[in-house]
Amino acid sequence: MSFLFGSRSSKTFKPKKNIPEGSHQYELLKHAEATLGSGNLRMAVMLPEGEDLNEWVAVNNVCFVAVDFFNQINMLYGTITDFCTEESCPVMSAGPKYEYHWADGTNIKKPIKCSAPKYIDYLMTWVQDQLDDETLFPSKIGVPFPKNFMSVAKTILKRLFRVYAHIYHQHFDPVIQLQEEAHLNTSFKHFIFFVQEFNLIDRRELAPLQELIEKLTSKDR
């Protein structure tokens, strides 16, 4: 199933997965929503005392990454799709030093060089498939997380980061023209606080936006 954005589709991604009301994951979800609503993004991503790391990361992935981050990236990328085309972005990159090739290990086993729009479509379709997989992200009460959960979660977040990196490096001027800069910065800041709190993305992967990350997070240290 293809993942389409903004002007290319009127649909917004809505994950099939729902966290059952009354479950422990549901209580964690309500806690996350409450702290996010406080306006303190650093506090919103911190692990509540006595809680399981896998479960907390899953709740944040299912709630914020699937629903919030996906929809935010959908909207933000959708605003600049006229600028991100096969012709303007023949490769998926984040500045001249960083180029990304796509592979999912299943349908495309060897990394392929493709345009940014194609890469992002592959990426979002793949992420949605992971989040819809009950063996990876169980929604039923009492079903344990698989041993490879953290590995999959890290890969999802690492690949989502690349969309932010591409937008900042290749399309920031249109973002400013469209007055989406504040929205983009807030979305990315929340994302970065989450991955930093639990060391979910290797520092080398964050290198394309390291200067921006330091600038956005320095005031909250």
Query: Domain 51-218 is classified in which CATH homologous superfamily?
Result: MOB kinase activator (1.20.140.30)
Q: CA-CA distances (angstroms) from residue 162 to 54, 94, 119, 193? A: 23, 8, 10, 16
7-21, 41-55, 132-146, 200-214, range with the lowest pLDDT: 7-21
Mean pLDDT throughout 56-80? 66
Residues 93-118 have pLDDT tens digits of 999 999 999 999 999 999 999 999 99
The reported pLDDT for the residue numbered 7 is 36
pLDDT at 35 exceeding the cut of 90: no
Percent of the chain with pLDDT over 90: 38
Count CA atoms within 13 Å of residue 108 on its CB side. 13
Per-residue pLDDT band for 136 (boundaries 50, 70, 90) equals: confident
Q: Is 166 annotated as a binding residue?
A: yes
Q: Is 89 annotated as a binding residue?
A: yes
Tokens of 104: 């999912």
Q: Is 101 annotated as a binding residue?
A: no
The phi and psi torsions of 99 (rounded to 5 degrees) equal -130, 135
Q: Is 63 annotated as a binding residue?
A: no
Helix (H) or strand (E) holding 193: helix 181-197
Count CA atoms within 13 Å of residue 10 on its CB side. 0
Residue identified by tokens 């990304």 is 100
Chain-centre distance of CA 184, in angstroms?
Answer: 13
Whole-model pTM: value is: 0.76
Domain positions in the chain are 51-218
